[in-house]
Amino acid sequence: MLKKFLLDLLFPVECLGCRQEGAWLCASCFKKLRFGAPAYASSLAMPGLDKILMAGDYDDPLLAEAIKRFKYDLIIDLGPILGRFLTLFWQGQTALPGTPGLISPLIIPLPLSKKRFRFRGFNQAEILARELSAALGYPLNRDLERIKHQPPQAGLDADERHKNIRGAFAWKGADLQGRDIILLDDVMTTGATLSEAALILKTAGAGRIYGLVLAKG
């Protein structure tokens, strides 16, 4: 607590939007985050996923900044705020007429490799997933494991990314027969990683799989 007090004194927390002290994103700036377009069905490039939902838009500078500070500057306190944004988006989507209800849903965050987890100290997707799980009352599940550490995917095209990611995940949990899944990550690029994870979950028996991310970047 003393350490936190001293840190706050030395580096006061200020809103990424308006620089007001006290919160990483004040209530009025939070409201300015723009929601993404309604869900669209997955294309053939993303096998395994029934739908991809993008809560926001990376062109929204405030959202992009918040994601960057959370993911790369490791400001873990931004996680619950972004998780709330994700939750509000999801709730808006599922309130749309004609949306099918989920069957025994599980929330599964995309896992990091042990190496990357050690470096970062937390799994950013899991922090987001906790918030969603608490708000919706769906269980959070951590039985999807990353068994292979990949070099960064940047600079690879879609085909190369698919090849690069193959065999990266393993399912260590119970049979998923009859369960729908919300598969969560912070940001997607081509969707190759989400798609590979979804295929593993389908093999384990999963029903519909909804990929949910903050933005495409």
Can you give the binding site for Zn ion, defined by CB under 5 A?
A: 15, 17-18, 26, 29
Least separation in angstroms between residue 72's CB and Zn ion is: 21
Parallel, antiparallel or unpaired: strands 181-184 and 106-109: parallel
Least separation in angstroms between residue 14's CB and Zn ion is: 8
Nearest to residue 90, comparing CAs of 138, 47, 42?
138
Q: Which is nearer to Zn ion, 24 or 90 (CB)?
A: 24
Least separation in angstroms between residue 85's CB and Zn ion is: 14
Record the tokens describing residue 152, joined without a space.
Answer: 């960064």
Parallel, antiparallel or unpaired: strands 106-109 and 51-54: unpaired
Record the tokens describing residue 33, joined without a space.
Answer: 């985050």
Q: Which is nearer to Zn ion, 84 or 120 (CB)?
A: 84
Record the tokens describing residue 44, joined without a space.
Answer: 């053939």
Parallel, antiparallel or unpaired: strands 169-171 and 181-184: unpaired
Least separation in angstroms between residue 208's CB and Zn ion is: 37
**The one-letter amino acid at 103:** I
- Cα of first residue to Cα of last residue in the chain, in angstroms, is 36
Q: Which is nearer to Zn ion, 17 or 83 (CB)?
A: 17
Q: Which is nearer to Zn ion, 34 or 163 (CB)?
A: 34
